[in-house]
């Protein structure tokens, strides 16, 4: 019991430290962008560490097998990087980062490393370099906000702190105003070509372009901050109204308030599929490696897309598991023994037999 409390205290200290770094990073951007880069990165890294710490303190030590509680308490240990944290979140906590989140955080690491070990063009007051930093910080905050929602069990008592940083991020966007202004001409041209623009959920400018050329799949990209999302245009199963779902299925129907879920999306995307009794092997659903979705990936206009996390796959990324014979994404090279997203293969079968 006491141990558990100590672990919670450690968690809280790390999270408070993270918020402190976020605040510092935003406050010092004007005068010292260099420190802003370093501190913003530190904040993101601390959030990842906090989540690992929630599971067990040894998970944030680079080599857990050498971890010792005394040196941990005194801070005398090498802690994990974002890269290590990603792998551990996936394999141990089973609550990993999406590819987009990971890539965004790695870019922050890259900026940080250049500042610390070399120099960074942003230091010399180069305006475009500064804009780039702010754009990436906006994008990173957008991703972290969604991570906070996913990890709400751990971060629910930090709602106020999160809202405060959110407000500061809104102000931070002023650095992108000039960039948005400079894009006016491009946006106009794209509008003439049928691309519609809405407010970007990451940077807040009306620069979030929607390409509907592959309907019902919608592709979004922000011209200012490069935030990108995949959306789906899905009919409501209750009232038939078409709804735009961006990045996830959990929206409310704008007409009848029906709450969409991944099953609705999957049912809509497969509604025209005719089952061929002469070809019973032909499956139309695959498991999703990205979100562990069972039979959530379906084929739409030659692209495979997950009804739950909206990750897109091309047909080469879909394969058949040699053990359970279902379609899956992910590495299937050794699937007879290792299994797929939905099964544990022969090795899992054998070890269950022994139990």
Among 127, 239, 250, 301, binds Zn ion (CB under 5 A): 239
Nearer to Zn ion, 56 or 150 (CB): 150
- Distance, in Å, from the CA atom of 192 to the CA atom of 23, rounded to the nearest integer, reads 41
Helix (H) or strand (E) holding 258: none
User: Does 224 participate in binding Zn ion (rule CB under 5 A)?
Assistant: yes
Between 35 and 349, whose beta carbon lies closer to Zn ion? 349
Q: Does 340 bind Zn ion (CB under 5 A)?
A: yes
Give the shortest CB-202-to-Zn ion separation in angstroms: 4
Strand runs labelled E in the chain? 196-198, 208-214, 217-222, 228-235, 242-246, 285-287, 297-300, 303-306, 312-313, 319-320, 327-328
Least distance from Zn ion to the Cβ atom of residue 40, Å: 17
Which range of residues in 11-19, 71-79, 159-167, 231-239 is near Zn ion by CB under 5 A? 231-239
Does 43 engage in binding with Zn ion (CB under 5 A)? no
| Cβ neighbourhood burial of 174 (10 Å; 0-12, 13-18, 19+) | exposed
Q: Does 306 bind Zn ion (CB under 5 A)?
A: yes
State yes or no: residue 200 binds Zn ion (CB under 5 A).
yes
69 forms part of the interface with Zn ion (CB under 5 A): no
Per CB under 5 A, the segment of 18-26, 33-41, 188-196, 249-257 that binds Zn ion is 249-257
In DSSP terms, which residues pair with 208 in a beta bridge? Answer: 198, 222
User: Should residue 227 be labelled a site residue for Zn ion when binding is judged by CB under 5 A?
Assistant: yes
Q: Which residues lie below 8 Å from residue 297, measured CB to CB, with a gap of 6+?
A: 285, 286, 287, 288, 304, 305, 306, 307, 311, 313, 318, 327, 329
For 172, other C-beta atoms within 10 Å of its C-beta total 21
Residue ranges that bind Zn ion, judged by CB under 5 A: 200, 202-203, 222, 224-225, 227, 236, 238-239, 241, 253, 255-256, 258, 288, 290-291, 293, 306, 308-309, 321, 323-324, 339-340, 343
């Amino acid at each position: 019991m006491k141990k558990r409390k100590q672990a919670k205290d450690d968690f809280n200290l790390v999270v408070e430290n993270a918020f402190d770094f976020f605040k510092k990073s935003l406050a010092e951007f004007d005068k010292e962008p260099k420190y802003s880069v370093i501190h913003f990165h530190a904040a993101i890294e601390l959030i990842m560490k906090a989540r690992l710490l929630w599971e067990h303190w040894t998970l944030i030590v680079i080599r857990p097998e050498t971890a010792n509680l005394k040196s941990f308490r005194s801070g005398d240990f090498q802690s994990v990087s974002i890269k290590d944290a990603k792998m551990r979140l996936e394999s141990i906590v089973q609550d990993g980062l999406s590819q987009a989140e990971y890539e965004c955080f790695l870019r922050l690491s890259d900026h940080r490393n250049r500042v610390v070990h070399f120099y960074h063009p942003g230091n010399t007051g180069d305006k475009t370099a500064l804009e780039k930093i702010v754009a990436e910080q906006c994008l990173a905050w957008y991703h972290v906000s969604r991570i906070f929602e996913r990890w709400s069990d751990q971060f629910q008592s930090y709602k106020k702190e999160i809202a405060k940083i959110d407000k500061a991020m809104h102000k931070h966007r002023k650095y992108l105003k000039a960039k948005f202004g400079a894009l006016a001409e491009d946006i106009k041209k794209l509008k003439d070509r049928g691309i519609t623009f809405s407010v970007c959920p990451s940077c807040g400018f009306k620069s979030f372009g929607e390409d509907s050329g592959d309907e019902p799949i919608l592709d979004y990209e922000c011209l200012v901050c490069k935030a990108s999302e995949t959306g789906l245009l899905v009919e409501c199963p209750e009232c038939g109204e078409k709804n735009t779902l961006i990045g996830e299925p959990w929206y409310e129907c704008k007409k009848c308030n029906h709450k969409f879920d991944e099953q609705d999306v999957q049912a809509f995307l497969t509604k025209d599929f005719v089952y061929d009794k002469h070809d019973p092997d032909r499956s139309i659903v695959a498991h999703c490696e990205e979100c562990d979705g069972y039979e959530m990936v379906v084929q739409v206009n030659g692209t495979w897309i997950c009804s739950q996390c909206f990750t897109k796959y091309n047909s080469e990324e879909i394969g058949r598991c040699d053990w359970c014979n279902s379609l899956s994404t992910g590495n299937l090279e050794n699937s007879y023994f290792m299994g797929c997203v939905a099964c544990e293969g022969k090795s899992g079968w054998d070890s269950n037999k022994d139990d």
